[in-house]
Amino acid sequence: MMYPFMTLNDDTEITHSEMKADGSVKVYIETPDLKDGFHSAVCWLPQYRWENIHGYNQAEMAFFKKLIRDNAHVIIEFSQDGGVLNAANS
């Protein structure tokens, strides 16, 4: 299951999985694009391993890499609590 984490002003959605048995968390980034459909990328935490990057340029990826690194501790915490909405109700 993927949980919502953040929506940016350009409608980019950032979601994350629950924490897997090995301690990893999948972070998925998706931006709608009228011409190409969607741009997307996956980051696995805590390794910061990026894969399946489609449509984003280097500047956009630098932004996302910093954003995820700056928020990784929160994403990892939420991944153990059923996402931000469940964590907020705890």
Contact at 8 Å (CB) between 27 and 6?
A: no
Enumerate residues 6+ apart whose C-beta is below 8 A from 50.
Answer: 41, 42, 43, 44, 61, 65
pLDDT attached to residue 80: 87
Residue 88 is classified by DSSP as: H
d(CA 49, CA 69): 11
Mean pLDDT by 10 residues, the chain (90 residues): 94 95 96 91 97 97 98 93 59
